Each structure stands twice: as structure tokens, then as C-alpha cells.
Chain A
Amino acid sequence: MRKKNNDVRNFLPITPAAFHVLISLAEGDKHGYAILKEVSRRTDGRVKLSASTLYGIIKRLLADGWIVELDDRPDPALDDERRRYYRLTKLGREVGIAEAERMDELVQMAASRDLKRLKPAKGRA
């Protein structure tokens, strides 16, 4: 169900969990458990996705055409054939990059306004 407008910014923002999955797949094809482990490792365990959450995201990413399911296995001899692998598509990669740029802009904006100065003093609402 791809949106008609090909400008990837129309897809933004995306949820942090979906962004984590995109980043994870940017390194290479992975099956579900590998994505989950990668997200956990990359965030030092701060982000732990459940199987339900992960496959809820995978379903949407598949429907939007950001990732595809692979027919072949990267290394069938080493891995369980029952696992399904996913690959980032060109569109998915573009969306991931666009989201990263959007967040980068936000960070730069916060830095330029010296966000620390805007932090409310203790005891004040």
C-alpha cells in the first residue's frame, strides 16, 4: 500500500521502534530474532522489542514496501531454514535516511537554541 506521492518526507515521522528496525536492516538482511537482538545491542538494552511489537512493525513495513521478505536464505547451511529474512528496499532506505535527517535537523535546532538554557529550573513547573 505505497503512498502515491513518492516524496519520502510524506512518510515522516516514523515511530522510534520502526526506525530502529530500519537501522538494523541497513547493515544487512536479518531474520526477526536477529533484528530484535541488534536493536537491543545497539541501544545497550534500553530498547527491547517484544515479538508482537516487532512483527507488528514488520507487517507495516512490508505493506508499505520499505522492506521485503527474502525467498532465499543468506546461509542455509548455518541457519534455520524456517526463519524468514527481511531486506531493506530502496524506498525503505530513503525513508530511513530522511528520518535520520529530520532528527538531525531537530538536534541541530536544539543545539543552536542552547536547549540547556531553556531547561526549567528545579522546583519550577
Chain B
Amino acid sequence: MRFFRFLLRFFPFDFRRNHGRDMEQVFRDELRDPQNAGTSGRLRFWLRNLAGALHVAPREHAAMVRADIVYAFRMMRRTPGVAVLAILTLTIGIASTTAVFSLVNGVLLRPLPYEEPDRLVRFQLSYRGTVQYPQTVPHFHDFRDSGIFEGLAALADSDNLGFNLTGDHPPVRISALPVSSGFFEMLGVSPLIGRSFTRDEEDGVHRLAILSHALWQVRFGGDGNALGGTILLGAEPYEIVGVLPAGFESPIAGEIDVWVPQDLSANDRNHWDNYYVSVVGRIPDGTSVQSAQTKVDRLFGTLPDKYPGMLSDQEIRLVSLRDDMVGGTWAVLMTLLVVPVKQTVPYRNSSANRIDTLLLRRSRSSSFLTGISDLMVGAFLI
């Protein structure tokens, strides 16, 4: 009996609900029938029932799907406007959701394209409830020499600087970003050819350039002899000392054409009260952000003594570079994700009508599960 109940599970729910009990009764009656007694009689009986179930169950499933398809087509024909609207909205919805997912995947889900990105942090200055990213150059020097970080780099916080790239070619507008020495090393990126900047070159005098792979290809055709040559940024010649690997993007600034040394020399601009550089660092392996934060707090607490006049109730917070770069993007992307969902509202309203119809059908001896399968078939057709 248990085996026959097991066979019944292969039948559609509606079929089982309507006839399952009767089938069990018939099966029970047959078991008691003397004609089915004895080894051969019992064997034939089992084979007959097994074959019957395996033959009828798939046929009933097929019949159910066929009926659902007919029903779905009938519903679509009855309300063609809704069907067309549903198709259009779903098309737009699916397309936009796919686009947004590409963004989510590219921006949020993929790790930052740097070595061990979880160890990268950005400085955030907090003062009486307000926060800002720019730091001062003297403070940067203090932290760079503190040993708290495995690597610490400064980059111009203002929007990347635009330059006119002149020379033999027609002038073009390119983006350039001043960065300190150790910037690329801190990110775990090595130049494809050439080298990166040294501390001596942060004096504001050296005119050096590291090219992006794209600019190197476009301007020099990927020629290695470009190293040691010069490019004219504005009217000034910059010596090319390196080329970065393809696809490299700067944290915070994004796609940049040329990197130049950040001026970190002691001058009026680099005053302890002039906040204009972003600071990004790599905490040592095995050190937690919290532990690094404690050390930063301790050091920062000593700085007002070093710089008379400096506000003492400021704090520097270490923010995960990943959170910093994608934090604001979440809100935008979630908004974009909501839009496609909202586009389906007209169809959902129509579905509400269909659910009413389904409840009606249910009351006419059709099961609710069958109704759900109707909806699924309808949605599949659309």
C-alpha cells in the first residue's frame, strides 16, 4: 500500500485530490482479490499497476500543462491590451534590471582591482559632526613616517586636473592626477614599463609623468622608447618615467590619463591648516582596522601640540576604501533597481484580477496550486 501511495505522488496534485482516495480503495480491493494471489498473480498485479502509473501520470501532467496554456492564451486574448502592456513593461523591466545588475556586479560585487583591497583605508576628517576627506600635507607626513601603515599615499583631492596635451599631435584635453610616491606600490600595482615616483620627486620641481596604458597606446603606439621622452602638458615638458598596466584606475579619481608627482614640499600651500589632499593607506597584514584606528587616534591627539592653533576636537577616521568608493553608489543602484520593479505594477494589477479568477476556478473544484501553475504558465508565455 505504501508503494502505491508513493506512485500516487507522481500524479498532479489535482488528480490526486480528486481521485487518489478512490484509487487507493480500488488498489486495496484488488489486493484482496484471489485472482491476484500467488506469486505470478501478485507479480502481474504489481507490474500492471506500476506500468499504469508510469503511463498515466506523465500524461496527466501534460494534459494539465496543455490546459494551462490554453487558459493563458484565452486570458491574453480576452485582455490583449494588458498582455501587450505586460510584454512592453517586462521588456523594459528586464532590460533595465539587466543593465543595473551589470552595474551592481561591476561596481559593488567585484572586489576593488587592487592587491588585498580589504586592507586599504581612506582618511576621513571628522569635526563636530561634519566629515570631510581632504587632509593637510604636514599631517600626511606625520602619518607616513609613523609606521602605522604599511604604505600611505596622498593624491590631490580636487577634481583631477585637466591639461592640454600638446606637441606634434593635435592638442587634446586629458586628465592628470598628482600623487605622492608610493601611491602605486601601496595599491599593489607596478608600472608595466619604467618606474613610479620617488620621495625626492615630491618637491614640486620635478616634472615627471606616468602614462596610462591607453594614452601610451594612442599617443605613442605602445612604443617602449616613449620612456625618457617628454610630453607637453600645457606649455611645460614632463619626462615620461613609466607606463601603467592596461585597465588601471585610480581609487577615488577613476580613469586618469597621466599621473604627476604631488608637491609635498614645505611651502605656503602645504600649511598644516590647508586641507587639500586625500590620503589612502594600507594597514599592515594581520592588523585590524580598529587597531590601526587606535594608533591613529593616539598620534593625532599629539598633533595640536606640534601645530599651535590646530583644533583639538578633530578626529581622523579610517574608512574602508571599498565602502568609501561604493557607499554612495548603493543608494543610486537600489533606486535604479526599484524602477524596473515598479514598472511591473500594471501587470501586477492585472494579476490581481487573475487571482480573483483563480479563486473562482478553485471553487469550481480546481486547486489553488493549479491556479498558481496557471499564472506561471501565463507569465512564461508572456
Contact = CB atoms under 8 A, between A and B. Distances in A.
Contacts of B26: 32-33, 36, 51, 54-55
A107 to B, nearest CB: 28
Nearest to A58: B19
Nearest to B21: A82
A56 B59 contact: yes
B236 interface: no
Interface residues of A, number: 21
Interface residues of B, number: 26
Interface string B52-64: 1101110110000
B29 interface: yes
A53 interface: yes
B59 A51 contact: no
A53 B52 contact: yes
Contact of B25 (A40, A52, A53, A83): A83
A59 B49 contact: no
B30 A53 contact: no
A40 B52 CA distance: 16
Interface of A: 31-33, 36, 40, 45, 48-56, 58-59, 80, 82-84
Interface of B: 4, 7, 11, 15, 18-19, 21-27, 29-30, 35, 48-49, 51-53, 55-57, 59-60
25 contacts: A33-B29, A36-B26, A40-B35, A48-B48, A50-B51, A50-B52, A51-B4, A51-B26, A51-B49, A51-B52, A52-B23, A52-B49, A52-B52, A52-B53, A52-B55, A52-B56, A52-B57, A53-B55, A53-B56, A55-B15, A55-B19, A55-B26, A56-B60, A59-B19, A84-B22
